[in-house]
Amino acid sequence: MNWNWYTRVLLAVASGVLLALSFPNYNLSLLAWVAVGLLTLASYRATVSVALLCGVISGLVFYPLSVPWIDAVVRQYGGAGPWASAGILILVALTGGLYAVIFTIGVAMASRKELVLACVLAPFLWVAVEFLRANMAVIGFPWNLIGYAASKNLPLLQLTAITGIYGLSFVVAGFGAFVAYAILARSQRAWKSLMVTTAALILIALGGGYFIPRAAPRYLAHLVQTNFEEHYTYPNDWLQRHAPDMDAVHDISVNAAKAAPGLIVWPEVPAPFSFNDPNFAARAQKIARDAGSDFLVGIVDWRKDAAGKWFATNSATLLDPSGQRVFTYDKIHLVPFGEYVPFRQWLGFAGNLVADIGDFTPGHEYSVGKLPGGKFGVYICYEGVFPGFVRHFTAKDAQLLINISDDGWFGQSAAPAQHEMMERVRAVENRRWLLRDTNNGVTIDVDPYGRIVAEMPMNVRGQLDAPYAFESELTPYARFGNWFAWLCVIASIGLIGASIAGGGNKQTPISRQSARVKIHA
């Protein structure tokens, strides 16, 4: 089909819109299954310039629709004006569009040789681009990968234990490419094959849940949702001003552990919590001693380097029942424009955002702690959106995963639900119980197969009884990491190479038919 450029642009716009609508808070997840197909149609036999345009436009549509909360967060907590915050969001969208350009140009090149080649390439290349998006230094942002749109289906979700989220992305993108092929090939056989594939997916999605076992918990944790209001800066006497709130959270934690002994978990630091502050240190130690329980809490940890200069880490520390610090993990993957500013020297347009954000120092070790009964790995907030990050803890023998986060910065946007969606996949990839504790939601307990066992309402102060167990099985994904994503990278290179090899372009059945019509005419 030889569409004009603006028809292709409309298809790219539609692809970005449908993909955005697949995620919270729209939750029209079935739309993701055709989104890649529309972008494949837009790229089919397109010129390089038009393919580039379609890729950029799809990113400019998808990101502002799916992550508009970036603008709100930067304005509310970064002190940036509306133009600067919009500029950050557009920068994110343009970066995402450049990743999409790799897909559209690759498909366009392959389609000029053979329709089948282009449609076979599409899912491999889509996953390769998502993998690049997740692992690009500094600006990696694997938020809302297409596989997450299908992750609420429990049977399909189990694939991630083998391939990671990238296998689920491959299935969704592959189905879209199959739709594009059926449209372009105009073949009854292609449509019948598509119908059979659709029926098989529906059968798996609806009936596969009967074959998924249920994990049996043996221990109990108390996930405390502190529900403190976020502020960019805090006065030195914050603890004194909020003594009644701290007393209330103390009582919630201790009473829960006395009623049913178990680990107490507080979220990523939601206020000026630091053991350098003797008042907070005394409070935290008192909670552990009064409860007679282990206590995991998010803090800002101030230390001195070899030169005597102070630096801060975003950390999680474990106190034993006597109140002694026995384990600390320092956040490794920091949040750009939240915990540090990348390319600070070139972002003068961001004004207060660049001037005000102080840089945390990243940690370097995937530390694993010990609890009665087994070992655990704790990771903090944004780290959980990186598919290959969490498995490092499992590979180091973590038998339980704990995620502490403060999603209150996102307000009432779709971000907390999107974040929860991604964290749930980490439990299945690693076949571990996941205890997720946040400041104001979404606080959940997830079993190793992705079932939400317990969930706490958002924006309330309280605690969630979260059963769990320690698991030792290593999934293929936990053992071998992103092997499937690398396979897609290699396959993409090979298929693009095949499209370039041989020189001339091979005509598709459609183009041959058109040529015959012209000759007979």
Q: Is 381 a catalytic residue?
A: yes
Tokens of 48: 């390089």
423 is catalytic: no
455 is catalytic: no
Pairwise CA distance, residues 91 & 103, whole Å: 19
Buried b (16+ CB within 10 A) or exposed e, 43-72: bbbbeeebbbbbbbbbbbbbbbbbbebbbb
C-alpha closest to that of 300 among 346, 233, 246, 355: 233
Q: Which of 119, 230, 331, 471 is catalytic?
A: 331
> What is the C-alpha to C-alpha distance for residues 50 and 248, in angstroms, rounded to an integer?
60
In angstroms, the CA 224 to CA 244 distance is 16
Rounded CA-CA distance 74/68 in Å is: 11
Show Cβ contacts of residue 116 under 8 Å, excluding neighbours closer than 6 positions: 181
Gap between the Cα atoms of 141 and 418, Å rounded:
13
List, in sequence order, the alpha helices (H) in 186-322. 188-207, 238-241, 243-259, 278-291
- Cα within 13 Å of Cα(250), Cβ side: 18
Q: Are 264 and 225 in contact (CB under 8 A)?
A: no
Whether residue 130 contacts residue 53, with contact meaning beta carbons closer than 8 Å, is answered with: no
Q: 């109990």: which residue's tokens? A: 220
Q: Which among 264, 263, 474 is positioned nearest to 372, based on CA atoms?
A: 263
Query: 104: exposed, middle or buried (C-beta count within 10 Å: 0-12, 13-18, 19+)?
Result: buried
Task: Please report how many Cα atoms fall inside a 13 Å half-sphere around the Cα of residue 287, on the Cβ side.
Answer: 30
Catalytic one of 54, 119, 381, 488: 381
Alpha-carbon distance of 127 to 148, in angstroms, equals: 13
Distance in angstroms (rounded) separating the CA atoms of residues 394 and 34: 34
Residues annotated catalytic, as ranges: 268, 331, 381
